[in-house]
Structure 1
Amino acid sequence: MEAIASPLVKVVAISGSIRKASFNHGLVRSVIDISKELNNGVKVEYVDISPLPMLNTDLEVNGTYPAAVEAFRNKIAEADCYLFASPEYNYSVTAPLKNAIDWASRPPNVWADKAAAIVSAGGGWGGGRSQYHLRQIGIYIDLHFINKPEFYLNVFEAPAKFDADGNLIDAESKESLKKVLLSLHAYALRLKGK
């Protein structure tokens, strides 16, 4: 009997940190590598939010947005689901991440009715408080977050979880990321009715 190929699921991955060697960028890079190893129909694309201007409705002209915003909104609209790597700044999400979310939620809201997952790396609770705020934001913009598994990584625990370039090197953490990606994949297919 021939195996049935899994339908393609396009995942847009966004890091809430715009620092190139950030731990959260490292999580995104690791998820992309894991998706290639899985070879199960999930395709993860990193979308950079650093070119986005700060939200200013004066920049909306005759129902259009600045070029960087239009390109970002198109990537969000074309995706089946999203993976946020959300660092925690002052118990919440970062300003660049909130800005990106707000731009894509301008009419028409291109986030709506799709699956999402959150991973985070940081000190203390590993970015956990930012995840709760992101879930609250997601309610209003009609995102459907997976509930489990959760992924919070305390980067100050020994042994080191990342190398000097911000790449995830911890095998146990990679396995946990894989479980998040598989859960997101399954939930996205469920929401699509497949």
Structure 2
Amino acid sequence: METVVASKPMIKVAAISGSLRKASNNRGLIRTALELTKESINGIEMEYVDISPLPMLNTDLVVDGKLPPAVEAFRQKILQSDSILFASPEYNYSLTGPLKNALDWGSLSPNVWADKAAAIVSAGGGFGGARSHYHLRQVGVFLDLHFINKPEFYLNEFEPPAKFDSDGNLIDEASKEKMKQVLVALQAFTLRLQPKN
């Protein structure tokens, strides 16, 4: 007798890094998430959404109701996603300028962030970027983003053993497992928030 395994509905996740450096460890967290969704997590289609092309928010750039092309392309990717994975490094006890800029562009009416599930991961010194999580969650309240509460993922990148290689790729297996738990929780929460047909 053949066993039938029910597959989970596919969800689309937009993955955003608050760091613009290619070898950033936070970009490395996104790369790990992308690998995990391809290799070992059924039901998640993830796309990295680059925020580096976005100009600084200036409504003078909105001409005849039209947004700059890079902004419109970004907003469309967010609109088409079911949920968001933020890799949010901590700058000066807060989230980064580029990430806040992306949040602000997305918040212009109609707010593309509204009613989406979200999760935050980060790597850094000290508390591993944890303080950026709280500011991002605070901004998310106004944007109607719905963050998972657990598991939390903030990684002290300097505490031995080495967590990343020289290219910013996550090499620590325990951290990869924790990332997998975050993605599974995000998937479950996204499906809970989706309207039932």
Alignment TM-score, normalising by the size of structure 2: 0.96
**Is 2:18 the partner of 1:12?**
no
Q: Which residue of 2 aligns with 1:146?
A: 148
Q: Which runs of 5+ in 2 are unaligned?
A: none
Describe the superposition over 1:68-101 as per-residue Cα deviations: whole angstroms up to 9, x where unpaired. 0000000000000000000000000000000000
Deviation at 1:5, TM superposition (A): 2.1
Large movers: runs of 4+ above 6 Å: none
User: Which residues of 2 match residues 165-184 of structure 1 at below 5 A?
Assistant: 165-184=167-186
Please say if residues 75 and 112 of structure 2, whose CA atoms lie closer than 8 Å, have aligned partners that are also in contact.
Answer: yes
Query: Aligned to 1:168, what secondary structure does the other structure show?
Result: coil
- In the TM superposition, 1:123-142 aligns within 5 A as 123-142=125-144
Partners of 2:41 and 2:184 within 8 A in 1: no
Q: Say whether the 8 Å CA contact 2:17–2:50 is kept in structure 1.
A: yes
**Secondary structure at 2:93 match in 1:** coil
Answering whether residue 15 of structure 2 is matched by residue 3 of structure 1, we say no
**2: distance between equivalents of 1:175 and 1:189?**
21
Q: Show the counterpart of 1:43.
A: 45
Provide Cα deviations, 1:89-132, integer angstroms capped at 9, x if missing partner. 00000000000000011010000001000000000100000000
Task: Tell me by how many angstroms 1:46 deviates.
Answer: 0.4
Aligned CA RMSD, in angstroms, stands at 0.9
Q: TM-score, normalised by structure 1?
A: 0.98
Query: What secondary structure is seen at the aligned counterpart in 1 of 2:36?
Result: helix
Q: How does 1:22-33 map to 2 (within 5 A)?
A: 22-33=24-35
Cα distance in 1 for residues equivalent to 2:100 and 2:12: 22
Aligned residues: 194
